[in-house]
Amino acid sequence: MRAVSQLSAQSIGEFRKAVAISRGLEHLAPDFAMLAIALALVALAGHASAEPGLYLATLGGLSPLTAIIALLIGAAAFSSASRLGAGQLRRVFAWGAMLVLACSGMRLVGSGGMLPDPLWQEPPGPNSIMLLLLAALSLLGRRRSVIALGMGLGGLALILSLVLSYGHAAGGLHGTEPATMLIAALLLTAALCRQGHPAVLRLMISEGTTGKVLRRQLLYSLAGLWLLAVVLLHIDASAWAEAAPLFVTMLAVAAVLGIGSTIGLLAAAENARQRHLIRLEQLSATDMLTGLANRRAASAYAEATFHAARRHGRPLAILMIDLDHFKRINDRHGHKIGDEILAEAAHLFRSILRPSDMISRWGGEEFLAILPETQLAGAVKTAERLRQSLEDSLVLPGGSFVTASFGCAEMAPGDMDLDDLLGRADAALYEAKDQGRNSVAPMLPPRLQSDAASFDSAVA
């Protein structure tokens, strides 16, 4: 139960941390949106005043049309983050940006456009349109939407690819300058800040197996894709036939590493789970004070042992043990001393009984011993040995001795279930108490009462 409680507390703590991260990201969204809006406004002012430095000419420049689209998407992100207009402004600005992007796409394919010609002097390229479109679509999606999250992450992945291509002076940028990538990254980040679902974040930060697998697979996937992209950029198209085996080998190695890592983590998790299950099973069957089997475990074992002995015709005996005047011990010396007496008595009983015997705490100050392959005479001798050892070993603070009463019973041919045997042992225990306690009393089956004389001679 302690392990389960710790696990529950850990899960609750992880979820609270994920909620805090989600709220923190939402608070950052207006900042990223305002940065993008500021860059777009400055770029437009730079074009109006013919100041190249204002529209980031050193980073390739931000065209007027790209700045207008970014301004609309930034306004949508800011209104979404600040909860203005209950989402109406967000949709208006986002749809406005998508309309301008649609016109840009029509212009690229030669279908003309609905905007004034001066705005088409530096139209955005296909990759720029895709980046801004993904940002607008992510903002149009519902808050904490998986689809919107995927669009935002796709946009950031496209930016990483463009950065890699740009760094290697590769073709295919199609008008996507660093300035455009910068403002698109700000817009996509602002859009993603509203998609931080606590359940997803909890999986990513979890110390459990699932979180570790996700983080490791994400790391391997990103690293593998990045390395493969670097290799592809360095391979000449004419030499692809020679490089193909190396490419395939790298893919296979990456797959094997990923699968092997996952298998290793899952195997370790399964081993840990089995150990926890075993531990929980032990805790559910163990009395925490004495370390003996509890009543639930003892009942199951006694039931199985009873039916096995009855089926094979083997002897079986049980001892019902009750510490004498235990309530008086608790009242005079306190429950701490009482608990110590119970634990010491349990240790003493277990040290004397055979490995094949089972001793359990039946309830309160009562113990139940199950003695397979034992007849009533042997059970009485064992009980007497336990009684004498207890009286000789355990002494209370005041100097008085700890004693116990023992009831013994043997399985009889007429016993149909365990309750018959337990009932006779319990009756024998009451008889031992009536005899003045600190004694051992056997109980024969009713039809064997006539053989009591022969039994007394066997004990002697």
3-state helix, strand, coil in the chain (%, to 5): 70, 10, 20
**What's the CA gap between 162 and 166, in Å, rounded?**
6
DSSP one-letter code for 86 = G
DSSP one-letter code for 155 = H
**Close Cβ partners of 448 (under 8 Å, ≥ 6 residues apart):** 412
Tokens 């089997």 correspond to what residue?
293
**Torsion over CA of 374, 380, 384 and 390, rounded to 10 degrees?**
60
Residue 403 CB-half CA count within 13 A: 14
pLDDT tens-place string over residues 257-272 = 665 565 556 556 656 7
Q: Give the orientation angle of helix 64-81 with respect to helix 126-140, to 10 degrees.
A: 20
**What's the CA gap between 301 and 305, in Å, rounded?**
6
Give the lowest-confidence range in 101-105, 166-170, 347-351, 397-401: 166-170
Dig out the tokens for 450 from the structure: 């006539």
DSSP one-letter code for 444 = -
pLDDT tens-place string over residues 338-369 = 999 999 999 999 999 999 999 999 988 999 99
Q: What percentage of the chain has pLDDT greater than the value 90? A: 30
129 vs 353, higher pLDDT: 353
Q: What is the pTM of this model?
A: 0.49
Instruction: Say if residue 8 is exposed, middle or buried (CB neighbours under 10 Å; 0-12, 13-18, 19+).
Output: exposed
Instruction: Say if residue 368 is exposed, middle or buried (CB neighbours under 10 Å; 0-12, 13-18, 19+).
Output: buried
Is residue 365 flagged as an active site residue?
Answer: yes
**What's the CA gap between 234 and 213, in Å, rounded?**
32
**Close Cβ partners of 70 (under 8 Å, ≥ 6 residues apart):** 36, 37, 39, 40, 62, 132, 183, 184, 187
Beta-ladder partners of 322: 366, 405
Tokens 């096995």 correspond to what residue?
308
Are β-strands 366-372 and 358-363 bridged in parallel, bridged antiparallel, or unpaired?
Answer: antiparallel
Residues 213-241 as b/e (b if ≥16 CB within 10 A, e otherwise) read bbebeeebeeebeeeebeeeeeeeeeeee
Give the lowest-confidence range in 99-103, 380-384, 453-457: 453-457
Task: Give me the pLDDT at residue 172, please.
Answer: 47
Of these residues, 14, 26, 177, 365, which one is catalytic?
365
Task: Give me the pLDDT at residue 2, please.
Answer: 40
The answer on pLDDT for 138 being more than 50 is yes
Tokens 């064997």 correspond to what residue?
448
